[in-house]
Amino acid sequence: MADCLFCRIVAGEVPATIVAETADTIAFRDINPQAPVHVLVIPREHHTDIAALAAADPGLAGRLCADAAAVAKGEGVGGAFRLVFNTGAEVGQSVFHVHCHVLGGRPFTWPPG
């Protein structure tokens, strides 16, 4: 999608600090990190959110989660990390290309605010 920021990162039209790539996914550092480790993992293919992705291609949704866990390990936080898929503007989704936040490197509270 030409007007999608994360499709533009996939296409190399918008710069990003890429930390990992697979055939299906890319992982890059969040521009406004909320933790010492804050990486976004996205499918190269455009899907609006995790619900749409899981419905369209559950295998890709699974690979996205596996790649997110591999990123946590690669960032040195494989033993304790949080994965977040904001789904819907009301809960904070601001980019409507599915992305998994990989967060770690500091304590987190539960439940989230």
* Interatomic CA distance for residues 109 and 57, integer angstroms: 32
How many residues are listed for the chain in this entry? 113
Per rule CB under 6 A, is residue 31 in the interface with ligand 5GP?
A: yes
Q: Is residue 2 classed exposed, middle or buried when 0-12, 13-18 and 19+ CB atoms within 10 A define those classes?
A: exposed
Pattern 65-104, Zn ion, x by CB under 5 A: --------------------------------x-------
Residues recognised as catalytic: 99
Partner that binds at residue 47, options Zn ion, ligand 5GP, none, CB closer than 5 to 8 Å by kind: none
- H or E stretch including 24? none
When binding is defined by CB under 6 A, the residue of 2, 12, 23, 94 that contacts ligand 5GP is 94
